[in-house]
Amino acid sequence: MSTTPVHGTWEPEPAARWEDAFLSGNGHHGALVFGDPHADRVVVTHHTLVRPNGGDEYRRPPALAAGLPALQDRLLAGDTTAAEAFTDGRPLQWVRPFHPAFQLRLDRPPADDTRPAAYRRAVDFTTGETTAARAGWTSRVFVSRADDVIVQHVTAPHLTLDLSLDPRLPGAPAALGVGHGTVRTPEGALLTLRARYPGSDLSYTGVTLVAVTGGTTRLVPPGVLVEGATEVLLLTRVRRHTGELDTVAEGRALRELLGRTPYAATYDDLLARHLTRHRTAYDRVTLDLAADPAERALPGSELLARPSGAALLERLFAAGRYHLLSASGLLPPRLTGLWTGDWNTAWSGAFTTNANLNLQTASAAAAALPEVTEAHAALVHRQLPHWRDNAREIFGARGVVAPSHTDGESGHTCHFSRAYPLHLWTAGADWLLKPLVDHDETYGGRDPRTAAALAEVALFYEDFLTRTDDEGHLVVVPSYSPENRPANASWGTLDAAMDLSAARHALLTAADHHPEHAAGWRALAGRLPPHRVNADGALAEWARPGLADTYEHRHLSHLYGVWPLDEINPYDTPDLAEAARRALELRGAENDSAHGHLHHALVAARLRDGARVAHALGQVLDGDFFHASLMSAHYPHRDVYNADAAHALPAVLIEMLVQSTPGRLVLLPALPASCPQGRLAGVRTRFGASLDLTWTPDGSARAVLRPDRTHRIELRTPSGAEPLDLVAGEDRVVHIEAR
């Protein structure tokens, strides 16, 4: 491995499970690399690979608008179960499930020399390369951000390889129609695999160019046998399509990547083009917690066995940013990021938008990964026409309503049931647009697409918010707090705290972007009811009086006003912040899902509760959530491959050190005792500055701000508050004195 272990990880043996395979990706293609010298496997994935699963008659949102007034009447009259019948009677319809394409198999004959030899496999986060080496054999794999191709380079003296594309992966449909092709080329061979989904005209095709140096190449369908070579270079792409794919053209495009460069430099040339994009992004932010160098040198699996060590947090921070970047491009990360080795992905490997997607991408602005936000924006803007259909068909309204689940293709609300009435969730558009607003604040621009989408959210609320209570406040009816229910009512009810926060934020933010509508939208926001504090002193999940809280739940939807919004905070709304802190204190972990723990940590950080941040982090670090790949699981003991913890953890570590709004900077708001010293470099703030922060065990700290814009902000530190004037292009140093 060519880099320090902080910016990579390694293992002393090949992966035996696909969950432990090292990961590479470019936001389009993904690769899971086992690194076995004699029976290597590279599982190929692509963001577009979602399997048709029938039920096309239910792909549209339900046409329920005509019945909405009657439902509202019943809910307002106190019928606590009225929303359970607000459906068109369809069965629960999952979105199309994400799946792997195939595995690239590289089999070598058994070695005559059976003496033990040192083995090492590694992944370098700075380059995106996975490497493996043993006794003269080496393999290097990366997925190019420049050329959109999976590149593998294998070397060994007298290299003999049996190469093939194998669709036989766990859960693959028995009726998957598979055809292979093998063609000799000047470089060596071209392998193709076409797989047609059962009962569909959709297919996907994988193409691998095999370029061989030395030895002989023989076509042995469905693969190729290379004997006596010194190097083999493999270039792989996969396409999802209808009809026939021109594999000759695909092979020609792969051969063009080799150009006229001498073969010995080809891999390095491809890597160099990739690095101009990947390394530039990865290197922007670093975290150093002054870990023991001996611990930093350990394999990832050994670090995971030391959950209290600073070296583990350093590596998980680096791995989280690496995996998040690698999974983001055509789309943002799915529940499984960009990777799976099994066709039976939990929850369809979809984008669950009511919590998971935003938690995974929570660090994008501060951790200087605009590539992630651009991928998020691509998903949002591509699906806006479907969001309009949701608003019209379900609510009879203009504007947009986002779905809770999407496969990346359809944005229609079609996944809901009695216990999960996700079609009643109206806060989704604001929730999903919030990261785009943060991005604009961070980089000082206004994307006209975001402004236009915000206006459509405001239009929806103009049409939807028509009912009032006895005090003249608007009522959000029906209302839904993902994925919880009141203790004394059904899931679909009134005035969920998340819905109130989302409506207020959407209307006020849209007003800021559209002065011509500002007065009306601000007036509408002003008529929404305030949050309610319940008898336990906690921020109520439903502001409607009489609805009792259910505390034992994994979601924290009602604390949207704390994180990621700035509606509730210890500085401007201390009483509500205390109520939110009490709500967090009372909240249970339910089924110990990773996203619940890290969502808890993010809210606690905003409330300046370092002890609670440390506890939530500890639940994840002590719970055996991480595979040797440093990709995470949804539940403890590595149960259900899931990217939530891996991708969200960097956001937690940043939020406990640095928080910002367009007018405020908070330094060291929630530093756990387990992180007494360190340095966070390169983070971005929402007032347009980059920031480096160094802190020491005696409580002193030093921050260097490099502002892009000239203005005054409020600085908050453990010592108190003061104004801070920033001048574009001039560094500003802030000192925090020792305790």
The pLDDT-based confidence of 259 (bands split at 50, 70, 90) is confident
Contact 661, 687 (CB under 8 A): yes
pLDDT greater than 50 at residue 12? yes
Residue-wise pLDDT for 225-234, tens only, equals 999 999 999 9
> Picking from 107-121, 432-446, 683-697, 713-727, which range would have the lowest pLDDT averaged per residue?
107-121
> If phi over 0 gives left and psi between -120 and 50 gives alpha, with beta otherwise, what is residue 588?
beta
* 644, part of any domain: no
pLDDT at 68: 98
Q: What pLDDT is attached to residue 57?
A: 76
Same domain, 253 and 341: no
- pLDDT at residue 264 in the model: 41
Answer yes or no: do 266 and 357 share one domain.
Answer: no
Q: Are 461 and 523 in contact (CB under 8 A)?
A: no
d(CA 484, CA 20): 33
Are residue 376 and residue 468 in the same domain, yes or no?
A: yes
Could you count the other beta carbons within 10 Å of the beta carbon of residue 67? 16
Within-domain flag for 293: no
pLDDT above 60 (res 263) = no
Cβ–Cβ under 8 Å, residues 210 and 265: no
**pLDDT tens-place string over residues 601-658:** 999 999 999 999 999 999 999 999 999 999 999 999 999 999 999 999 999 999 999 9
Looking at the 3D structure of the chain, how many domains does it have?
2
The answer for 186, left when phi > 0, alpha when psi is -120 to 50, beta otherwise, is alpha
Of 588, 613, 630, which one is at a domain's C-terminal end?
Answer: 588
Is residue 135 in a domain?
Answer: yes
Q: Are residues 454 and 353 in the same domain?
A: yes
Q: 669-705 as b/e, with b when 16 or more CB fall inside 10 Å?
A: bbbbebbebbebebbbbbbbbbbbbebeeeeebebeb
Q: What are the pLDDT digits (tens) for 462-489?
A: 999 999 999 999 999 999 999 999 999 9
The answer to whether residue 170 scores a pLDDT higher than 50 is yes
Expressed in percent and rounded to 5, the helix, strand and coil fractions of the chain are 30, 25, 40
Q: What is the DSSP letter of 21?
A: S
Residue 113: is its pLDDT beyond 80?
A: no
Does residue 352 form part of some domain?
A: yes
* CATH assignment of the domain containing 129: 2.70.98.50
Residues 271 and 355 grouped into a single domain:
no
In a domain, 738, yes or no: no
Residue with tokens 């919004």: 565
User: What value does the mean pLDDT take over residues 288-304?
Assistant: 96
Which pLDDT score, from 0 to 100, does residue 59 have? 85
Q: 519 and 402 in one domain?
A: yes
447 with 572, same domain: the answer is yes
Instruction: Quick: pLDDT tens for 310-342.
Output: 999 999 999 999 999 999 999 999 999 999 999
* 466 and 571 together in one domain: yes
Rounded-to-integer distance, Cα 667 and Cα 682, Å: 14
Asked whether residue 224 is domain-assigned, the answer is yes
> What pLDDT is stored for residue 56 in this prediction?
78
Residue 300 three-state SS: helix
Which of 541, 521, 525 lies closest to 533, judged by CA?
Answer: 541
Q: Is the backbone peptide bond immediately before 222 cis, with ω within 30 degrees of 0? A: yes
Domain holding 522, by residue range, is 328-588
Assess whether 143 and 30 both reside in one domain.
yes
One-letter identity of residue 627: H
At 661 the pLDDT is 98
- The pLDDT score that the predictor gives to residue 6 is 79
Residue 110 is classified by DSSP as P
Nearest to 539 by CA among 520, 556, 524, 564: 556
Query: Of 283, 300, 319, which residue constitutes the final position of a domain?
Result: 283
Co-location of 270 and 381 in the same domain: no
> 588, 614, 633 — which closes off a domain?
588
Let me know: does 320 contact 598? Beta carbons within 8 Å.
no
Same-domain check for residues 452 and 582? yes
Question: Does the pLDDT of residue 1 top 50, yes or no?
Answer: no
Residues 109, 95: Cα–Cα separation, whole Å: 43
> Which residue is associated with the tokens 């792989």?
236
- Residue 386: the pLDDT is 98
**Per-residue DSSP letters for 111-151?**
PS--S---EEEEEETTTTEEEEEETTEEEEEEE-TTT--EE
Neighbours of 663 (CB within 10 A): 12
Residue range 345-402, pLDDT digits in tens: 999 999 999 999 999 999 999 999 999 999 999 999 999 999 999 999 999 999 999 9
Residue with more model confidence, 261 or 129: 129
Indicate the pLDDT class of residue 114, thresholds 50, 70 and 90. Answer: low
Contact 147, 274 (CB under 8 A): yes
Give yes or no: residues 15 and 150 share one domain: yes
User: What CATH number has the domain bearing residue 488?
Assistant: 1.50.10.10
In a domain, 86, yes or no: no
Contact in structure between 584 and 599 (CB atoms under 8 Å): no
| Res. 262: pLDDT tops 70 | no
Nearby residues of 249 by Cβ (< 8 Å), 6 or more positions away: none
Q: What is the mean pLDDT of residues 443-449?
A: 94
pLDDT of residue 3: 40
What mean pLDDT do residues 119-128 have?
Answer: 98
pLDDT tens per residue, range 681-709: 999 999 999 999 999 999 999 999 999 99
Measure the CA–CA gap between 682 and 282, rounded to whole angstroms: 11
Residues 286, 92: Cα–Cα separation, whole Å: 44
What rounded mean pLDDT belongs to the chain?
95
Asked if the structure places residue 357 within a domain, the reply is yes
Give CA 406 to chain center in angstroms. 14
Lookup: tokens for 587: 């909240």
